[in-house]
């Protein structure tokens, strides 16, 4: 684990997807863009890294991001969930979090712009139309604080 990743893990206390405090022994570093699509250097890009509970990390696996709250509510029996805060549709391999969507969208778009080869894998990372909608959602206070802390850890 790199120095920046260790610092990020020590500074960030809340799960990106649930906003719940994560105990030190349950903290996991989540790659928004799945690890398997990244080179060794790209895996260390702090822009792509967030703290989540290890159980949520395993639940997400490398499902692509997408969906809407309306879609989840209309077809709730087709979605698996954890505490009604994170959902996944196994058949479609889609992961929908209630929280953090604007940050996820910004991260997905920034990573695919920064690393051109990821543009070939966009359908494995996200449902493009949904991510465009997520990107238009406003960052709330929690999201802004999370990004400030991340930026702080990145400058250390």
Chain centroid to Cα 151, Å, comes to 16
Residue 43: which domain range?
3-155
pLDDT at 152: 75
pLDDT at 103: 97
pLDDT, one tens digit for every residue, the chain (156 residues):
678 778 888 888 999 999 999 999 999 999 999 999 999 999 999 999 999 999 999 999 999 999 999 999 999 999 999 999 999 999 999 999 999 999 999 999 999 999 999 999 999 999 999 999 999 999 999 999 999 988 877 665
129 CB burial (10 A radius; 0-12, 13-18, 19+): exposed
Cα gap 81→43, rounded to integer Å? 27
pLDDT at 3: 80
Determine contact, residues 75/68, Cβ cutoff 8 Å.
Answer: no
Chain centroid to Cα 6, Å, comes to 18
**Which residues lie closer than 8 Å to 147 by C-beta, 6 or more apart?**
103, 139
Q: Residue written as tokens 């206070």?
A: 141
Cα gap 95→37, rounded to integer Å? 17
In the chain, the number of structural domains is 1
100: left (phi over 0), alpha (psi -120 to 50) or beta: left
């Amino acid at each position: 684990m790199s120095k920046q990743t260790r610092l990020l893990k020590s500074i960030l206390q809340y799960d990106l997807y649930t906003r719940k405090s994560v105990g030190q022994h349950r903290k996991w570093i989540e790659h928004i863009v799945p690890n398997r699509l990244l080179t060794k250097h790209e895996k260390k890009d702090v822009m792509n890294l967030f703290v989540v509970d290890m159980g949520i990390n395993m639940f997400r696996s490398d499902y692509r991001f997408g969906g809407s709250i309306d879609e989840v509510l209309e077809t709730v029996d087709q979605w698996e969930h954890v505490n009604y805060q994170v959902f996944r549709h196994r058949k479609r391999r889609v992961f929908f979090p209630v929280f953090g969507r604007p940050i996820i969208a910004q991260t997905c778009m920034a990573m695919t712009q920064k690393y051109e080869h990821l543009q070939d894998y966009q359908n494995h990372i996200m449902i493009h139309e949904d991510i465009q909608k997520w990107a238009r959602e406003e960052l709330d206070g929690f999201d802004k604080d999370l990004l400030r802390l991340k930026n702080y850890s990145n400058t250390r």
